[in-house]
């Protein structure tokens, strides 16, 4: 996929940064985020993390629309360098409790812009009504 990856004895790792960021959301939001992205074209690659409270991490292209954590709905996290994500080595594989929620497609190497993923996350967090989304205090939203 052309991503900056690394590997060790436990498998593959994606190093965020250099144009790739991620938005981490509760797994309960993931179907709505995915549906919103698929209405546009397809789902951006995403990982399901089998943690105590399952989470899904949607990969995105860094852009000026997402300036930091304070712009996300409560419950979501913005991830960038030096974050490292464990990668399953195949679309059906599991790596350290991580599986592909939306596997990458080599025919579509580009990622959704972070601003587009952010809008899908905001809509999911608000149950489909982005104007009612829970927000952090003292923030301003810029979607260019």
State the Cα–Cα distance between residues 73 and 22, nearest whole angstrom: 14
What phi and psi, each to the nearest 5 degrees, are found at residue 19? 95, -10
What pTM did the predictor assign?
0.80
pLDDT values of the chain reduced to their tens digit, one per residue, 144 residues: 566 777 766 667 888 888 889 999 999 999 999 999 998 888 888 999 878 889 999 999 887 665 566 778 888 998 888 888 888 766 555 556 788 888 888 777 788 888 889 889 998 988 854 444 444 444 333 332
pLDDT at 65: 64
pLDDT at 128: 57
pLDDT at 24: 93
Kind of pairing, strands 11-15 and 5-8? antiparallel
- CB-CB neighbours of 84 under 10 Å: 14
The dihedral built from the CA positions of residue 70, 74, 76 and 77, taken in this order, carries a sign that is positive
The pair of structure tokens assigned to 4 is: 């900056």
Identify whether the C-beta of residue 48 lies closer than 8 Å to the C-beta of residue 54: yes
Cis peptide before 34 (omega within 30 of 0): no
pLDDT at 136: 45
């Amino acid at each position: 996929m052309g991503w900056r990856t690394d590997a060790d004895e436990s498998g593959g790792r994606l190093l965020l940064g250099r144009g790739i960021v991620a938005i981490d959301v509760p797994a309960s939001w993931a179907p709505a985020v995915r549906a919103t992205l698929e209405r546009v074209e397809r789902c951006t690659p995403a990982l399901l993390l089998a943690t105590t409270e399952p989470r899904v991490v949607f990969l995105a292209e860094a852009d000026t629309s997402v300036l930091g954590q304070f712009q996300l709905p409560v419950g979501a996290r913005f991830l960038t360098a030096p974050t490292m994500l464990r990668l399953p080595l195949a679309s059906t594989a599991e790596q350290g409790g991580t599986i592909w929620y939306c596997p990458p497609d080599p025919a579509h190497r580009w990622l959704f812009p972070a601003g587009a993923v952010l809008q899908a996350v905001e809509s999911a967090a608000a149950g489909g009504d982005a104007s009612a989304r829970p927000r952090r205090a003292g923030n301003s939203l810029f979607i260019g």
